Amino acid sequence: MTTARRRYGLTWTDPDGAAQASAGIFDKSAAIRRQRALKAAGCTRVKVVKVHQGELPQLIT
């Protein structure tokens, strides 16, 4: 039996209104830590999203 490795990215809106997406891939706990750090920095619409290998999160429109 194999276990599927889950990968997560983040999308958010900067305090100046620019939509952003993470270029790095995180495990669940690291993604949540990064989410908290972004919110503390004043970013809005911060979301942790599942991504597949070789993909990046889609920007918020």
Contact 60, 24 (CB under 8 A): no
**Which of 43, 36, 47 lies closest to 17, judged by CA?**
43
Please say if the pLDDT value at position 1 is more than 60.
no
Cβ(52)–Cβ(11) under 8 Å?
Answer: no
Query: pLDDT digits over 8-60, tens only?
Result: 999 999 999 999 999 888 999 999 999 999 999 999 999 999 998 888 787 76
